[in-house]
Structure 1
């Protein structure tokens, strides 16, 4: 195998010197130098991010057996590892690698466009939790699942993550074979209607960043969409603000409710509070699950609003 890897590295250096850029040239050079061996070439992946709040969230890898002879393929074993990157609880709950599903045989492969054996391996968050004996409360954003596989040939040789050494994927996009695929655990905001209940204790609406009004709370989604909500101020216009029909400055609190709708597929939402100029502003933010994720009292400082999406479950 070491000789085969050296051959790949040599091919990589040749490419650098000649300035070859197309996959066709990469294939020609690599195949000319490749000694007898085999690897699983990744052709497609999905699920680089696993939704912590959705046990049906999944990841998959499609790989093709590239060897001197397709009949050399004996079996493929697939493994999954969970890495706990949360240090707040003081416990490392990392597990694995554990075998994911039964050993694959040639019967589990189809024929690719190149006439080679090809198959897809997929798992869901629910599958992973069951495999590791974990529950959803034990994982959080930033943790990761690593899918790995080892191919065994009919002559008994095996090829896996320890054999690639980075050089197989270095020679070009066609020969992408790191023998592993990492998916990060993420906590996107719940899709649906979010409710913001607002109050001004003095009763003259919101004065946020200035005594004349200022901007409202903003919610920015990963696609660039920005929502802005606030109570209207008695001292300056603010587009899209909520009026309190009972607003009488200095007599009763100003109150109002605004909603925003977060679409399906949103991966991030950043909320920002512009400030409380007179120390009179209070508000809560309630997610579609009914959980109150923010509860601000008068006099709160400006800045990002900490919304814990990871623990926002129904």
Structure 2
């Protein structure tokens, strides 16, 4: 008798496990929707620029479905600075490709317009919809050809003891990387660490006044792109401005966060 009870118990357990095994249903199951990207930098020349982002869903339908988006309150971009198309998922498909186009004339002359988009809805017969809470963040900014010649960087330190950037005693300088691999590094010398200071491309710190200093770097003809990176400001004392060969202030910094700088090559 115990033998038969054991067999029945095992059989019952097997059947129970089979019933709990969930098989994904791509037609009638729960629909998950999300962006394929989370952040995009969209450099915009005078003729405008576009970028493409997919919206994925996990179920398909027999009819077209429409994606609904909302502009997050944190956005600074205005409606005339961009357009969005491709909001329809075709029947039988699991995705659509959004095309986001930026308008050069409407973008600010300096800085970025930040566009933050949230997924709100995917229309269709399936109401069991789950949307990811990860928005799509786009930084829209003007992009103009880089003017070759002498670029001047005027540097200051309000305390007068040079720059303390990525290190509390000194640290790295402002790094300028050209698309051909050329690297310049500039900053005010710190008396506390040999590695911090005015780097003129040779990696050596040139002694200078701890309150202010000027460096000139030469950008050659044919330079297509430049990355300007600032490592940080440990004590909120650092400032600098970047002057283009035309004599215009193309960018700068004053006690802001570390990271890539946006330079206005259109000035």
TM-score (norm 2): 0.47
Higher helix residue share: 1
